[in-house]
Amino acid sequence: MTLAAPAPQGVEDRVIPFPATGPAPDFSRTSTDVPLDVRPEQIRLLRQHPSLILLNLVNALLVVIVLWPIFPRELLIGWYALFVVVIPVRLILVRLSRRRSWMSAVVAGAAVAGSAATGVIWGLLAWPILIIPGLVYPVFLVFVLGGMSAGAVLLDAAYLPAFAAFVVPILAPATIAFALRGDEVSLAMGLMLAAFTLVQAVVGWRANRWILDTLKLQAQRENLTADLYRTTAELTRREAILRIMANHDQLTGLFNRYYLLETLGRELARARRLQVPITVAILDIDHFKDYNDNFGHAAGDEVLRTTAAMLKDAVRSTDIVCRYGGEEFLIVFLDSAATTAVPRLGQICHEVRQRAYQYQGSAMPGVTLSIGVAEFPQHGCSVDALIRAADRALCRQEGGTRLHRSAQVARLNQTPRVYRTSPPANNKTSPAPCRAPPSCARRPQSRLCPAPRRAPSIRAFS
């Protein structure tokens, strides 16, 4: 394990921008293209003002009072009794449909039947129009019937079959009665009533279309609002996934280089402001290429995952553990000097060395680590400078020693010790140690050198 030499300040921090990946999601399909069923809303409007049905009793009572002196009273009483029976039944049906949540088709059928029954009862007034002499009372009855049919626009226009079932039985018999009277005035009244019936039909149809369009727009608005909520939730979920993908390594689950460079710049600025140290350590798995060549990349991936989990568990939750690239990891010890981080790194090396690896039920050879350490601000004051210093420290190798500390670490640590991956010289049964080249070669092309399973020899670094 080697500590880097001090480096000059002034190097700019580097942040690698994360590129956008994948095409933009397609949210062009909306629920406005889906056929809308507005019948439930139409039925709700039919049941919205049940008190208006009671107006039939009031107006019928007024007709009885007016016709009482000139028309047979038994017939008037019987006629009004029909209203007394039909109107309460309609109100009871409306109440039951609300409480028991009847199906829309059942409620619509009940509404049409109730409107038709009420319209037929009003249509019975064609008999007084036909037999009462003069025009005073027939004209009065025409005004009453016209008012009731006009009120149907307010009550029944939401559902066109109910509107037609109420208006047609009211106006058609009266029109026929005026035509049967035969005199010119009655014929004129019949024509006027027929024209009024036509106008009522047009008004009712237009009112029904306006109500339907309004209900469809309301349903589309609600569907668009629901689509907006779903789209927002989906975009939030995808944003969270992209954030994880942008900041984490897929294989090991550790933070990646992009997150490291972005976060370390902020942490260095904070450390510079608070005047606290930060230690950066680059950890390299020794001879990992030989490991992959001998056991396959799948086994190598398992080693990377296991080692990453060990590193993550071995440091504090405030420290940053990243996969720097390939078989290299980088640990940022926040608010920690090298004198504090180096002993912990030595423990990590020992734990990794002693770890038994398993792949597909078979035991795998262990691995060892080489570590380069640099401290802020002693060895670098920027992200690039600090990482380069730790990288240069990692490249300093002597003979077969892969885990060592430099003389600068010895001055920082009162009891500097180093671990060697090679076994003692008297152990002739163990494989020969992997000799590092004299130059700063990061990954020498040597054969696989499995870590010894006995305790490593400890040698002071001079």
Tens digits of residue pLDDT in 168-180: 898 889 889 888 8
Alpha carbon distance 28, 34 (integer Å): 13
Give me the long-range contacts of 63-68 (CB less than 8 A, separation at least 24).
Answer: 63/125, 63/141, 63/144, 66/137, 66/140, 67/128, 67/137
- Higher per-residue confidence, 425 vs 391: 391
pLDDT at residue number 36? 61
Phi/psi for 458 (5° steps) reads -110, 125
Residue 422 has pLDDT above 60, yes or no: no
Least confident span in 149-153, 194-198, 302-306, 352-356: 149-153
**8 in Cβ contact with 402 (< 8 Å):** no
The pairing of beta strand 2-3 with beta strand 369-376: parallel
Alpha carbon distance 8, 385 (integer Å): 8
Residue type, 96: L
pLDDT at residue number 159? 81
pLDDT at residue number 321? 95
Ranges in the chain annotated CATH 3.30.70.270: 2-15+249-459
Average pLDDT over residues 441-449: 34
Please provide the average confidence, as pLDDT, over all residues in the chain.
Answer: 77
Average pLDDT over residues 441-462: 33
pLDDT at residue number 5? 54
Residues of the chain by 3-state class (helix, strand, coil), percent to 5? 60, 10, 30
| CATH superfamily ID and name for 2-15+249-459 | Reverse transcriptase/Diguanylate cyclase domain (3.30.70.270)
DSSP state of 5: P
pLDDT at residue number 454? 34
Residue 184 has pLDDT above 90, yes or no: no
pLDDT at residue number 207? 82
Residue 47 has pLDDT above 90, yes or no: no
